[in-house]
Chain A
Amino acid sequence: MALLEVRDLRVSFDTDDGTVYAVQGMSFSVGAGQTLGIVGESGSGKSVTTQAIMGLAPGAKISGEAVLDGADLISMSEDELQRIRGRKVSLIFQDPLTSLHPLYRVGHQIAEVMETHGKVARKEAIRRAVDLLGRVGIPEPDKRVRDYPHQFSGGMRQRVMIAMALAYEPMLIIADEPTTALDVTVQAQILELLGRMQQDFGTAVILITHDLGVVADVADDVVIMYGGRPMERADVRSVFVEPHHPYTQGLLESIPSYSGRTGRLKPIQGYPPSLMRMIEQCPFAPRCAQVRDACRVAPPPLKPVGSSPGHLSACVLDANRVGLASEPDEAGRAVGAAEER
């Protein structure tokens, strides 16, 4: 059974300008100890999805189900959610500088999690914080535990965030673009660390990103999100080798190649849909080169496609028509390379 099973999640916000339908029917699942990549462009609803589940989206109207370890998070009260957050599910955010409190020592901020959930004494909590800082690769953790966030570099700050997320050994870590604000060289280190911690602690990870390369490196399963809906769900290999949904194919084709392939990039034409109204068709239809009349009737449901089990695509096109038209690209090879490792 999945650790977290999200079914038909819908999230909307009432604003002065009208209702924003940020998520319009999202479904996915994460197995214990597994890594799920949620991929989508800005405004596709990937962050809202996880924040709404955890009760961290102020003013959101939420419906659907999000069953974590047998209990539905959506129907929980704020008090119940409080006991889940930081204890069973931790979150890591994009910008570690603004996400850490500027006025408290990092040791204090890590210790706070243990004190809140475990009634651990301050001294013991700080001792464990030192231990955690060491495990996430911060040199001289016994000294750095007394430092403030501004005294760390960007990568080191994200390590602090990871240590904080691990403080109560949660079942699930939701990492919301954890490497987007970091230098490219540091990105790889942080992803490697996240993977290693996941092994050590047996934690499941939801990795939210717009970077397919990151997903290729670390994810077991992938959900491609667009216009507040899942477009395609599959194991990571199928997504790169046998993509079914035209949007997924478009994403793969718009990745620049650094070797071999020449010629122009193929960006997806047009712009993402406005979420100021319910989208009553396939959200990608206006930009899709293979659009049919059926696409405009209703949003296509997820259906099994391709050869591997569990590969789902919300597209009306023939289920057996998978793979890119052009030759395998950089991302596909990256998966191959990852498998060889």
Chain B
Amino acid sequence: MIRLIVRRLLYLVIVLVIITFLTYVVFFAGNPNNLAARFAGRDAGPAEIRDAAIRLGLNHGFWYQYWHYLVGLLHGNFGLDFQNAVSINSEIARAFPVTASLVVGSVILWLLIGIPIGIMSATHPRTLRDRASTTFALTFLSVPNFVLGLLLLLVFYYYLTRAGLSWFPAAGYVPLTQSPVQWLVHMILPWISLALIQAAIYTRLIRGSLLDVLGEDFIRTARAKGLSRRTVIYKHGVRAALTPVITQLGIDIGTLLAGAFVTEKVFGLTGLGQLALNAIGNEDLPVVAAVVVLAASFIVIMNTVVDILYAVLDPRVRLA
């Protein structure tokens, strides 16, 4: 078990190094003069561009630059952005809590919706309840993210406010530390919009996985032992049906932490997704690179977490 964790962490480090290297090559290994010119700004003369090149360390060789970048990253330093010459760290520090709030809240919400409906569907296959849950799933699987977000805004912001009930704001983010209530009020609609679509996926996922498990021989054994239906379904069935759900959850959390672009855009949340979109628009390479490295790291880290969770949940994996 400990060997498995150590090996997984070792892989994690190797993959992260490879990611940073590829990112660095793609983004920074171009013509140093072009990079420096972009950093120096549109009106800069040759002297200013040379200064910029020195400031960015572009006068050094590639490996020195990469090493410098890597050491910076290890110290949690993403460098300066081109646009405003401010530390990228502070921008990420501002954007990350927004995205994290969005993701954590909606994950909890979609699991609370998806798991019970999925279990109900699987334990009553081909009944009215199952068909209702399929309808729910297909509806929200088919609705594009931004349409659902805008519909929520239309109903809960526009109509309610016109009716004199200003319960929900149109957009924006209030830090949890500043006002927990305002934080909640600002996050509810984004949470719902993201969670309903994800819950649709998880409903199907859990239904399928649990239906498979309930057809297994060991479920028949559990029933043959005289265990109650509850024990059979929850202790023996759901327990074994969790594996694919955890895989998907790990990937989803990793991906969304890198920025829930559409949801952030619709609800005016200045999270990592927004940061990346703005940076791309401004051709702000270091910021884009920082978000790419972060995004890749989240996904790799979540995969490692999933791998370790597998070993905790399934004794057969511990041998590997």
* Interface hits, A49-91 → B, CB 8 Å: 54, 56, 78, 82-87, 90-91
Which of A82, A95, A99, A100 contacts B226, CB < 8 Å? A82
Q: With a CB–CB cut-off of 8 A, which chain B residues contact A161?
A: 221
A117 within 8 A of B: yes
Shortest distance from the beta carbon of B212 to any chain A beta carbon, whole Å: 13
Q: Identify A102's interface contact among B220, B222, B229, B240, CB under 8 A.
A: B240
B217 and A93 contact, CB distance less than 8 A: yes
In angstroms, Cα B315 to Cα A304, docked, is 56
Mask for A143-173, Cβ within 8 A of B = 1, else 0?
A: 0000010100000000001001000000000
A101 proximal to B (CB < 8 A): yes
Contact call A150/B227, Cβ cutoff below 8 A: no
CA distance A182 to B45 in the complex (A): 84
Nearest CB on B from A141, distance (A):
19
Once bound together, how far apart are the Cα atoms of A223 and B224, in whole Å?
Answer: 23
A113 to B227, CA, bound (A): 8
Q: Judging by beta carbons under 8 Å apart, are B225 and A93 in contact?
A: no
Q: How far is the CB of A198 from chain B (nearest CB, A)?
A: 18
A103 pairs with B225, CB closer than 8 A: no
Q: What is the 8 Å Cβ interface bit string for chain A, positions 107-122, against chain B (1 contact, 0 not)?
A: 0000011001100000
* Complex contact A113–B315 (CB within 8 A): no
CB-defined contacts of A103 to chain B, threshold 8 Å: 239-240, 313-315
Docked pose: A100 CA to B224 CA in angstroms: 12
Closest Cβ of chain B to A225, distance in Å, is 21
Q: Verify B216–A91 contact, CB threshold 8 A.
A: no
Query: How many A residues, CB 8 Å from partner?
Result: 27
By a CB distance below 8 angstroms, the chain A residues around B94 are none
Asked if A98 lies at the interface with its beta carbon under 8 angstroms from chain B, I say yes
Instruction: Specify the chain B residue showing the minimal Cβ separation from A90.
Output: B224
Check A91–B316 contact: CB distance below 8 A: no
Max count, chain B CB within 10 A of own CB: residue among A56, A91, A101: A101
Q: How far is the CB of A151 from chain B (nearest CB, A)?
A: 8
Bound-state Cα–Cα, A84 to B225, Å: 9
Q: Give the nearest-CB partner of B215 in chain A.
A: A58
Asked if B226 and A56 make an inter-chain contact with CB atoms under 8 angstroms apart, the answer reads no
Q: Does B236 contact A (CB under 8 A)?
A: yes
Contacts of B229 in A (CB 8 A): 78
B240 CB contacts on chain A under 8 angstroms: 101-103
Pick from A82, A85, A91, A101: contact of B236, CB below 8 A: A101
Q: B222-263: contact bitstring with A at CB < 8 Å (1 yes, 0 no)?
A: 111111110100001001100000000000000000000000
Query: Interface size for chain B: under 10, 10 to 19, 20 to 34, or 35 or more residues?
Result: 20 to 34
- CB contacts (< 8 Å) of B236 on chain A: these are 101
The verdict on B218 contacting chain A, using a C-beta distance below 8 Å, is yes
Most chain B beta-carbon neighbours within 10 Å: one of A56, A103, A112 = A103
In the complex the two chains form, what is the Cα distance from A318 to B218 in whole Å?
A: 47
**A56 in contact with B224 (CB, 8 Å):** yes
Closest chain A residue to B228, Cβ basis: A82
Q: Which residues of A contact B225 (CB under 8 A)?
A: 85-86, 90, 112-113, 116, 164
CB distance B315 to A148 under 8 Å? yes
**Central interface residue in B223, B236, B314, by most chain A CB within 10 Å:** B223
Considering only CB atoms, which chain B residue lies closest to A148 in the complex? B315
Chain A residue contacts of B228, Cβ below 8 A: 82, 116
A146 CB to closest chain B CB, in angstroms?
11
Is there an interface contact between B316 and A56, defined as CB atoms closer than 8 Å? no
Q: Which residue of B lies closest to A105 (CB)?
A: B315
A317 vs B226: C-alpha distance when bound (angstroms): 44
A95 touches B217 (CB 8 A): yes
Contacts of B239 in A (CB 8 A): 103
One of A82, A86, A93, A117 near B220 (C-beta < 8 A): A93
Query: Nearest chain-A residue to B313 (Cβ)?
Result: A103
Q: Is the CB of B217 within 8 A of A84?
A: no
A99 CB contact (under 8 Å) in B217, B231, B314: B217
Taking a contact as CB atoms under 8 Å apart, the answer to whether A98 and B226 are in contact is no
Q: Are B218 and A87 in contact (CB under 8 A)?
A: no
Residue numbers in A under 8 Å from B221 (CB-CB): 91, 93, 99-101, 161, 164
A102–B228 alpha-carbon span in the complex (Å): 19
The winner among B222, B225, B228, B236 for most chain A CB atoms within 10 A is B225
A95 CB contacts on chain B under 8 angstroms: 217
**Can you offer 23 A-B residue contacts whose CB atoms are under 8 A?**
A54-B224, A56-B220, A83-B226, A84-B226, A85-B223, A85-B224, A85-B225, A86-B225, A86-B226, A93-B220, A93-B224, A95-B217, A98-B216, A99-B220, A99-B221, A102-B316, A103-B239, A103-B240, A103-B313, A112-B225, A113-B226, A150-B316, A164-B225
Binding site for A on B (CB under 8 A): 216-218, 220-229, 231, 236, 239-240, 313-316
Top 4 closest A-B pairs, CB basis? A86-B226, A85-B226, A98-B217, A86-B225
18 extra interface residue pairs, beta carbon distance < 8 Å, beyond A102-B314, A103-B240, A103-B313 = A54-B224, A82-B226, A85-B223, A85-B224, A86-B227, A87-B226, A93-B217, A93-B220, A95-B217, A98-B217, A100-B221, A103-B314, A103-B315, A112-B227, A113-B226, A116-B226, A150-B315, A164-B221
Binding site for B on A (CB under 8 A): 54, 56, 78, 82-87, 90-91, 93, 95, 98-103, 112-113, 116-117, 148, 150, 161, 164
